Amino acid sequence: MTKVLGIVPPMTQLNAAYPSTAYLTGFLRSRGIDAVQEDLALELALELLSATGLEALRERLGAQPPRRRPARVRGFLARFARYHTTIGPTIAFLQGRDPTLAHRIASRTFLPEGPRFSALENYLADDTGDPLAWAFGALGVEERARHLATLYLNDLADVLREGIDPRFEFVRYAESLACSQPSFEPLRDALAAPPTLIDERLESLTRAALARHRPTLVLISVPFPGTVYGAFRIAQTLKRVAPDLAVALGGGYVNTELRALAEPRVFDYFDFVTLDDGELPVWALIEHLRGERPRERLVRCFVRGDRGVEYLDHREPDIPFAATGTPTWDGLPRERYLSLLDLLNPMHRLWSQGAWNKLTVAHGCYWKQCAFCDVSLDYISRYEAASATVTVDRIARIIAETGHRGFHFVDEAAPPKALRALAAELERRALPVSWWGNIRFEKSFSPALCRELAASGCIAVSGGLEVASDRLLTLMKKGVTVAQVARVTRAFSEAGILVHAYLMYGFPTQTVQETVDALEYVRQLFSAGCIQSGFFHRFACTVHSPVGRDPAAFGVELVPLPAGGFARNDVAYLDPTGVDHDALGVALSRALYNYTHGIGLERDVREWFDTPVPRSTVSRRFVARALAGR
Ligand code: B12
C-alpha cells in the first residue's frame, strides 16, 4: 500500500499554509491514494515560540560564556520570566483564539519590549504622544496589538539568530546556502555541522511526523531558497530513521534553480528530484515504487545512477490543469496559523495576515514575454486555463472544507477574460467570497469590468508597472505604457479595489534620469489615487529570462557563472551605463514608504535622493492628462 506524506519545510510564511502539498494531496486523493500532509514550518515556529521552547532557549543561552552574550540575548535572559508568561497567550491571540488579549497588549504594559520596539519611534506621534495613532486610529486596538505582538516575536527571532543560529529568520531560513549557489559545499558543510537547538527541534518534529503517518513515500516541497536547508535537514533525519523510505524533492526552487542538477551528493538525502508541476512526476513515481513502471519511464526526474546524476523523462503529456483535482488543506491545523502584522504596508498585510485559501485561476502566464521574467520555465510558459465552472466548483469545495471564504489567487497573472467569467459564475451561484491576486494592467480591465470584479469579491490586485518608463517598458516587452497603467489602476481604485504596483529599478541601460522620471510617475499615481501601495525591487538577471539568454539584445554582458553542479539562477552582468543603482534604490524605497502613508506627495522627487540628481523631465500633469484622456 502506498502512503504519501507531503511536507512543507521551514521557513515559509506563518499566516497560511504554502499550497504545494495541498495541491498534491488533493490530486493524489482524487486518484484514490492515501495522502497526508504536514507543515513543519508552522510546527517549528510554534515549538520555538512556546513556553517550553523558550525554556530550552534560556538553557542553551545560559550555558554560553556570559562575556560573549550579545546585548539582545542579555536582554532576553534578564526579562525571561515575562517572556515565559506572555508567550502562550500572545500566540493564542495571534492565532485568533483569544481576541480579548488585544486590550492588554495594546496598552503596552503586557509584553516585554526589546530593541524591535524602537521602530515605533520612527512613526510620527500625534498630540497624545501615541506613535501608532496615525496608523490605526482610535478604534484599531486589535491591529495595534497585532503589530506590537509581531514586534515581540521579531525580538525573539533576533535572540534565536544572535544566540543560536545566525541564519534564522521567520520567513526564510539559511537562504544564502541555496540561493543561486552553484556549489553544494556550503550546504553540505552546514548539514555536517553539529545540530543547533533549531535543528534538534526540527529533527524531533520530523521523527514525530514519521511515526504518526508511517509513509512509504515522502514529498518534500521547496518553494523558495529559504526552505532548502530545512528540507535537507528533514531528509537527513528521514534517511537516518528509515533508510529505505523513498524521499523526493520538488517545488518552485527546484523548478527554477536546480534544472541543471549534476551534484550526486544531493542524493545522499533524496532519492528523486523532480521538475515542474508535480502531479504527473509523482504519479509516475508511485507507479514505479509499486513495480508497475520501470525506472527509465519516470517523468522529469533526476536520480543518482552509476555514472552520476541522470535525468529521466519519459515524455508524457501533463495532466490537464482542469483534471488535477481540488487542493485540500485537510490535516493542516488551520486554526494554528499566525496572523502577523509586520509592515504597515496594506499589500504586505494581505500577504502576512489571514488564512487565505490559495488557488490558481490558470496555469502559467498568458503574456509570457517580459524580458526580466523566467518566461522559459514551464510554470510560466505553459499557459492553460480552466473553465469558470471548474474554478468555482473548486472554490465551493474549498469553502465547504475549510469554512473560509477568502481566496488568494497565486497566478503569475490572472487573465482578464477568465476573471470576468469567474465573476459571472460567482454571481450566478450567489457565492460570497473575497479574493485578490496578481494581474497585468491590461486595457481590458475597463471601469465596468473592475466594478464587476469588485462585486464578485475582489478586494485587491497587484501588478507590474516595473520601471515606469515607456522606453524601458518597450525594451522589456511589458506590453503596457505608463498612461495605460494610470487609467487601469484608477479604474480598479474607483471600484474600491486596493492596487499594489510592483516596481523595478536597475534594468539594463536604465539611466539616472529615467530613475528620477520613474519616481515622478509613481508620485503622480499615488497622488491621483491610482495606486495605494508599491514596492521597488532591484532588477536581478536570471539565467532563464530573456535578458539572461540574450544579454546583447539588452546592451549588457554576463559574467560567467562559477562552476558547480548545484543551483543556478541569478547571474551577474556588466552594464556600460555604470549607474550606482543601489544608491538610487535607497531613495526609491524611502519615497515609496512615505507615499504609501500619504506623506511627501507634494515634494519634488529630487528631495528623496542623498546625492544631487537631475530634475524630472516628466510633466507634473502627466497622470492627470492620461486620466482625462481615457
Ligand atoms: C504566489 C507567489 C508568491 C506569494 C505567496 C507566497 C506564499 N508563501 O504563499 C508572495 C508574493 C508572498 C511570494 C513571495 C515570495 N516568493 Co514567490 N511565488 C509565487 C508564485 C507566483 C506562485 C506560488 C504558488 O503558490 N504556486 C502554486 C503551487 C501549488 O505551485 P508549486 O509550489 O510550484 O507546486 C507545484 C510543483 O512545484 C510541484 N511540487 C511542489 N512541491 C513538490 C514536492 C515534490 C516532492 C514534488 C515531486 C513536486 C512538488 O507540484 C506542485 C503542483 O504542481 C511562484 C511562481 C509560480 N508560478 O509557481 C513564485 C515563486 C515561488 N516565488 C519565488 C520567490 C523567490 C519568492 C520570495 C523569496 C521573493 C522575495 N525575494 O521575497 C518570497 C518568499 C515568501 C515566503 N517566504 O513565503 C520564486 C522562487 C524561485 C527560487 N529562486 O527559488 C518563484 C518560483 C517565482 C520566481 N521565479 O521568481 N511569492
Q: What is the pLDDT of residues 583-621, one digit of tens each?
A: 999 999 999 999 998 899 999 999 999 999 999 999 999
Q: Is the CB of 462 under 6 A from ligand 1?
A: no
Task: Name the residue with the closest Cα to ligand 1, atom 80.
Answer: 224
CA angle 42, 176, 159 (to 5 degrees): 55
CA dihedral 147, 148, 149, 150 (to 10 degrees): 50
Q: What is the pLDDT of residues 111-138, one digit of tens each?
A: 999 999 998 876 655 556 666 665 666 5
Q: Is the CB of 436 under 6 A from ligand 1?
A: no
CA of 455 to the centre of ligand 1 (A): 29
CA of 223 to the centre of ligand 1 (A): 4
Determine the atom of ligand 1 nearest the C-alpha atom of 172: 77
Q: Is the CB of 90 under 6 A from ligand 1?
A: no
Q: Is the CB of 375 under 6 A from ligand 1?
A: no
For residue 55, give the C-alpha cell: 525554556
Q: Residue 276: how many CB atoms within 10 A of its CB?
A: 19
Calpha distance 78→80 (Å, rounded): 6
Calpha distance 38→6 (Å, rounded): 6
In this prediction, residue 4 carries a pLDDT of: 98
Mutation to probe ligand 1, out of 410, 537, 571 (largest number of atoms < 8 A from CB) = 410
In this prediction, residue 191 carries a pLDDT of: 98
CA of 577 to the centre of ligand 1 (A): 33
- Is the confidence at residue 434, as pLDDT, over 60? yes
Q: Is the CB of 358 under 6 A from ligand 1?
A: yes
In this prediction, residue 345 carries a pLDDT of: 82
Task: Name the residue with the closest Cα to ligand 1, atom 32.
Answer: 20
Whole-prediction pTM: 0.96
Q: Is the CB of 230 under 6 A from ligand 1?
A: no
Alpha helix locations (H) across 429-498?
447-455, 470-475, 482-494
Task: Name the residue with the closest Cα to ligand 1, atom 12.
Answer: 351
Residue 296, judged by CB atoms within 10 A of its CB (0-12, 13-18, 19+), counts as exposed
Q: Is the CB of 325 under 6 A from ligand 1?
A: no
Specify which residues 407 forms β-bridges with.
357, 435
Q: Is the CB of 318 under 6 A from ligand 1?
A: no
pLDDT band, residue 541 (cuts 50/70/90): very high
Mutation to probe ligand 1, out of 20, 254, 266 (largest number of atoms < 8 A from CB) = 20
Sole residue written with cell 464587476:
452
Q: What is the pLDDT of residues 332-361, one digit of tens each?
A: 999 999 999 987 788 888 988 889 999 999
Determine the atom of ligand 1 nearest the C-alpha atom of 462: 11
In this prediction, residue 119 carries a pLDDT of: 84
For residue 301, give the C-alpha cell: 526526474
In this prediction, residue 344 carries a pLDDT of: 76
Task: Name the residue with the closest Cα to ligand 1, atom 62.
Answer: 224
Q: Is the CB of 19 under 6 A from ligand 1?
A: yes
Calpha distance 235→210 (Å, rounded): 11
Determine the atom of ligand 1 nearest the C-alpha atom of 277: 53
CA of 138 to the centre of ligand 1 (A): 38
Contact between residue 372 and residue 458 where contact means Cβ atoms under 8 Å apart: no
Q: Is the CB of 353 under 6 A from ligand 1?
A: no
Q: What is the pLDDT of residues 291-309, one digit of tens each?
A: 999 999 999 999 999 999 9
Return all residues near 459 (Cβ < 8 A) that are at least 6 apart.
434, 435, 436, 497, 498
Return all residues near 52 (Cβ < 8 A) that are at least 6 apart.
none
Q: What is the pLDDT of residues 206-233, one digit of tens each?
A: 999 999 999 999 999 999 999 999 999 9
Q: Is the CB of 437 under 6 A from ligand 1?
A: no
For residue 36, give the C-alpha cell: 497526508
Q: Is the CB of 302 under 6 A from ligand 1?
A: no
* Residue 28: closest CA among 314, 231, 327, 385: 327
* DSSP secondary structure letter of residue 348: H
Return all residues near 38 (Cβ < 8 A) that are at least 6 apart.
5, 6, 7, 8, 21, 209, 213, 331, 332
